[in-house]
């Protein structure tokens, strides 16, 4: 599932507010491939699951293509 630049910025903005992290810091982490602040905000069990999913491109694509992820994206982006 591809998301537009506007959708990416919206997600970064929402995540930044939720985590209390400056958007620029979060953007830098995402661009460098590190998710330290995001992972640090999750319980240990969820950290492991997310790390495993993101480290495998096939799994990440499957997760993003799931009906639940698509429904969440609809709610977030209003589409």
Q: How many domains does the chain have?
A: 1
Per-residue model confidence as pLDDT tens digits over 22-53: 889 888 887 777 777 677 777 888 888 777 77
Q: Looking at residue 43, what is its pLDDT?
A: 81
pLDDT of 9-22, one tens digit each?
888 888 888 778 88
Separation of alpha carbons 15 and 21, rounded Å: 8
CA dist., res. 12 & res. 23, Å (int): 7
- pLDDT higher than threshold 60 for residue 1: no
CA 24 from centroid of its chain's CA atoms: 15
- Note whether 9 and 76 are within 8 A (CB): no
| Tens digit of each residue's pLDDT (9 = 90 or more) over 54-75 | 677 777 777 777 787 777 777 7
In the DSSP assignment, the letter for residue 21 is: -
Domain that holds residue 10: 5-77
pTM of the model: 0.52
């Amino acid at each position: 599932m591809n998301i537009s630049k506007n959708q990416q910025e919206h997600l970064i903005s929402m995540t930044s507010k939720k985590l209390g992290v400056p958007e620029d810091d979060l953007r830098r982490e995402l661009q460098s491939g590190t998710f330290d602040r995001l992972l640090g905000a999750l319980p240990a069990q969820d950290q492991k699951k997310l790390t495993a999913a993101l480290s495998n491109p096939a799994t990440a694509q499957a997760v993003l293509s799931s009906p639940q992820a698509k429904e969440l994206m609809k709610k977030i982006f209003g589409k």
